[in-house]
Structure 1
Amino acid sequence: MTEVTDLGEFGDDFRRNPHPVYERLRRSGPVHRVRPPSPDARYDTWLVVGHEEARAALADPRLAKDPSGLGMTFLDEELIGKHLLVTDPPRHTRLRALVSRAFTMRRVEELRPRIRRITDDLLDAMLPHGRGDLVESFAHPLPLTVICELLGVPEMDRAEFRKISTEAVAPTNEESEYDAFVELAAYLTDLIEDKRCSGPSGDLLSDLIRTTDEDGDRLSAEELRGMAFVLLIAGHETTVNLITTGVHALLSHPGQLDTLRADLSLVDGAVEEALRWDGPVENATFRYAAEPLEIDGTPIARGDAVMVGLTAADRDPDRYPDPDRFDIRRDTRGHLAFGHGVHYCLGAPLARLEARTAIRTLLERAPGLALDGPPGDWLPGMLMRGMRSLPVRW
C-alpha cells in the first residue's frame, strides 16, 4: 500500500508557504502520493516535486491532459468545451496552430506602448494616496485591462468578469466554482455571438472567429468559447500573481531590491527569478496516465491523476543551488514556471512583457516603495500561487 501524504493536515501554513512541505517530500524522493487540501481534495493524486522528473513528465505523451479517453470529464470541459488545457495532440496541435496565426509575437510586441500607458495611468491614480493595496490598485487592473482590450471585452463587463474568473481558478468551494463556470460559459457564448454578428473589429477574439488555415479549417463555436476562456483566464490571473509575488519578493529582500534600483536593466532577471522562486502557477493542471508507466521508478497505474509541481521543481537544489535564496542575478534558465513541452504557456511573452513593464515603472515612479503590513490571504487550492492583497506605501 502506497503511503498517502494528506496535505490538508498542514493547514493554513501550507497555503501561505508550501515550500517547506515540498522540500520535505523532495528529500525522500521526487514522486509522492498526496491528498490535496480542500477544495481540491476530490481524489488522491501523484505529485512530482523533482525538477528533472517534472520536466520529463510535462513532455511525456503518456500523461494525457484529455481524460475523456479514460471515461472522465470535468467541470470546465462540460461547461466551457474543449480547450488547450484539456486536449492532447493531434487536436491540441490543431488548436494551438489556429490561435498562433492570430496571437503572434508581433501582436504582443505591438502592445508594448499600450501596456506602458495603462501602467502609467494606474500609477497616476494610485501614487497620490501614499499607500494602498498593490493588488487592487495596480497588479490586477493592469493585466485585466490588457487582456480585455486584446480580446475585445467591453469595459463595463470587466469588474464582473474579474470576480467570476478569480472564483473559477481559485474556488472557495465546489458550489461557487460551478456557478462561476456557468456564468463564464454564458458570458463567453454571448460575447462570441456579438462579435460574429458585428463583423471584424481588430481585436483578437474577432480575428479568431475568422481565422482559417491553408485547408480552410477554423475554430468551432465550442472551440472558440474554450479558446476565449483560456486566453482570458490564463491571460490575466497568472500575470496578476506574477506582479504581486514578484514585488512582494523584492520588498522582502531589501538587498536585492537595492541592487535592482541601482541598475534597472536587471529587471528581466528579477522577473525570471520571481517566476522561479515563487511562480504564479503552483502546480500544472492535472494529467492522467493513459497507460501504466513509471516516474523515477514509481509505478503509476492507468487512469491515475498526476500533478506536476512547478514551484516545487523550481526549488530543487539539484537544479538550482541554494534554491530558497532569492537572487535576481541567478541563472534561472530551465525554470518550469510556464511549463514545458507542447503545453508550454502560449501567453508567456505577454506575461513577461507586462511584469517587466509593471515592476520597472513602479520602481522608477515610487522609489520609496515598501511593505505596509502583511499580505492578505493566499489563494486557496494548489493551482494558483498568489495573494488577495498586498499593502504597500511609497
Structure 2
Amino acid sequence: MTTAEPRSYPFSLPERLDVEPMFANLRANEPLTRVRLPYGEPGWLATRYEDVKVVLGDPRFSRAASLQHDEPRMRPQPSQPGGILSMDPPDHSRLRRLVTKAFTVRRIEQLRPRVREIADGLVDAMIDQGPPADLVEAFALPVPVTVICELLGVPYEDRVDFRHWSDAFLSTTKFTPEEVVDCTGRMRAYLEGLIAQRRAEPRDDLLSGLVAARDNEDRLSEEELVMLAMALLVAGHETTASQIPNFVYTLLTHPGQLAVLRADLSLVPKAVEELMRFVPLGLGAGIARYATEDIELGGVLVRAGEAVLPALASANRDERVFADPDELDLRRQDTSHIGFGHGVHHCLGAPLARMELQVALDTLLRRLPGLRFADGEAGIDWKEGLSTRGPERMMLTWDH
C-alpha cells in the first residue's frame, strides 16, 4: 500500500449539480489519486473514462471482496452480505437472471402506455390546481413510485413509509447511524410481510415471481430474496425521482438547449442520453471495487487488495472521449456515457429509467407551455445529507 497521504474526498461541497472542478486537473495530471472518504480505508480514485470502464468491467476488480475490507464509503454502514451490489459472478449472475426478464427493452416498451397514462394524470392534476406546483411532490416522485409499486407488487398507499426508509438507506449525514439501522429494519420487516402475503396468495407481479423462484426452484436464499426486494424498491424509484427534477433544472438553466428540445420533441430520447452524461447524480464516487491481483491502471500499479473508486461524473466529462464535455449538447452524436454504470453491475433498471425519463420530459414539455421556475433559485431546496443529488422541492409555473 502506498504511503502517499490521501486527499480527503469529496474534495469540496457540491453546489447544485456542478461537477467537482478538480476532476479536470486530475484527469490531465493524476488520473489515479489516493483519497480518503468519510468512512473506511483509503482507496484510489479513477477519474478517466477508460480507467473507470476497466474498474467497472474487468473481473479482476471485485465487489464481493469489499465484504472482507473496511471499504471506502460515504455512509457509516458498510455493505451487507446477501445484497446483489456486493456480489461477483456467478452469484451476481444468478440473482440478476431472476429479474432481468422484467426489465428487458421489450417488456419496458409494453409499459410505456401505462407510464404515459400516469404522467398525464399527474399533469392533469397540476393543471387543475393551477401553478405554481412543486415538481418533486406533484410529478417527479409519483411517476417512478407508482411504476415500481405496480411492477414489484408494493401497495402505493405505503409510499410515505418506504420513501422515508429509502432516504435512510441513502443517508450520509441526514440520519444518525441508529436511525439508519431502525429504518432498514422497518423496511426489511415490511418486505418480509409482503413476501409472506405472496406466499399465501401469489399475484402477477415481480415479488410473487421472486418468491416462486425461492420456494419452487431454490434459486436464491431467503436472505437474498429480502435484500433483492429492498434493492429493487429503493433503486426502482429513487434515481429516476431525482433525475426528473435534475433534468428539468438543467434544461431551464440552459435555455438555448431547452429551445432546441421544445422545437423538436423527437429529440427527447437523445436528450435523455446527453442529460445522463451531463448531470452528476451521485454525491461521491461509485462504490469501491477491490483489485484481486496487481493491475496497472492510469499509469499506477494498483496492488492486490487495494480499493479503487470509479468517478463516473468525471468519466462522463472526459475530454478524451467527449468533444466539449462541459457543454450540454442535446444533438450530441456520441452518447456512450456511463451514467448507468458498465460491466456486470450495469444498472439493471436502465431500460425502465430511460423510458420513464423520456415520458416525463415529453409530457412536461408537451403539456405545460412556458414551463419555468416560479421563483428562481429561491423556489428550489436541494437535498442534504444523502448520497444522491437533486432538489427535494422545485417550484415551477407555466403559461395557462
Same fold (TM over 0.5): yes
**Farther-moved stretch of structure 1 (231-240 vs 288-297):** 288-297
Alignment of 1:120 onto 2:107: no
- Can you list the C-alpha shifts for 1:105-149, whole angstroms capped at 9, x where unaligned? 343222111111110111112233211221121111110111011
The aligned counterpart of 2:62 is 64
Equivalent residue number for residue 98 of structure 1: 98
- Which position in structure 2 is the counterpart of 1:280? 281
Amino acid at match of 1:209: V
Greater mean alpha carbon deviation, residues 283-292 or residues 49-58: 283-292
User: Partner of 1:389 in structure 2?
Assistant: 393
- Structure 2 match to 1:55: 53
What amino acid maps onto 1:338 in structure 2?
F
In the TM superposition, 1:1-394 aligns within 5 A as: 1-7=3-9, 10-11=12-13, 13=15, 17-36=18-37, 40-67=38-65, 70=68, 75=77, 77-78=79-80, 81-127=81-127, 128-171=129-172, 172=174, 173-198=176-201, 200-211=202-213, 216-281=217-282, 283-372=285-374, 373-374=376-377, 375-380=380-385, 383-394=387-398
Counterpart Cα distance in 1 of 2:193 and 2:153: 13
DSSP-derived class of the 1:32 partner:
strand
Letter in 2 for 1:110: Q
**Which SS does the other structure have where 2:308 is aligned?**
strand
1:26 to 1:71, Cα distance in 2 relative to 1, 3 A: closer
Whole-angstrom CA distance in 2 between matches of 1:225 and 1:57? 28
Structure 2 Cα separation of the partners of residues 76 and 202 of structure 1: 34
Check conservation: 1:70, 1:303, Cα contact below 8 A: no
Q: Tell me which protein shows more helix as a share of its residues.
A: 1
Aligned residue type for 2:316: D
- The 1:270/1:103 distance shift into structure 2, 3 A limit, reads closer
Return the offset for 1:271: 0.5
Cα distance in 2 for partners of 1:280, 1:146 equals 21
Number of aligned residue pairs: 385
- Decide whether the 8 Å contact of 1:278 with 1:385 is kept in 2: no
Matched-pair contact (CA < 8 Å) for 2:55–2:289: no
What are the superposed Cα offsets for residues 34-83 of structure 1, whole Å, 9 maximum, x if unpaired? 223xxx444333211111111111111121111366356994754xx513
Deviation at residue 332 of structure 1 after TM alignment? 3.5
Which runs of 5 or more structure 2 residues have no equivalent in the other structure? none
Q: How far apart are the structure 2 equivalents of 1:51 and 1:288? A: 18
1:362–1:242: structure 2 CA closer, same or farther, 3 Å change rule?
same
What is the TM-score when the length of structure 1 is the normalising length? 0.90
State the distance in 2 between where 1:63 and 1:42 align. Answer: 18
Task: Give me the CA root mean square deviation.
Answer: 2.4
AA aligned opposite 2:123: L
Contact 1:35 1:43 in 2 (8 A): yes
Indicate if the aligned counterparts of 1:34 and 1:46 stay in contact, CA closer than 8 A.
Answer: yes
* Range moving further from structure 2, 1-10 or 250-259: 1-10
Task: Flag the 1:8–1:256 CA change in 2: closer, same or farther, 3 A.
Answer: closer
More deviation in 2-11 or 365-374? 2-11
SS class of match (2:336): coil
Farther-moved stretch of structure 1 (137-146 vs 163-172): 163-172
- Residue-by-residue CA offset, 1:152-193 (whole Å, 9 max, x unaligned): 111221111111102212332433333332222222222211
How high is the TM-score relative to the length of structure 2? 0.89
> For the residues of structure 2 that align with 1:360 and 1:92, how far apart are their CA atoms?
35
Structure 1: where are the runs of 5+ without partners? none
Relative to 1, partners in 2 of residues 1:357 and 1:9: Cα closer, same or farther, differing over 3 Å?
Answer: closer
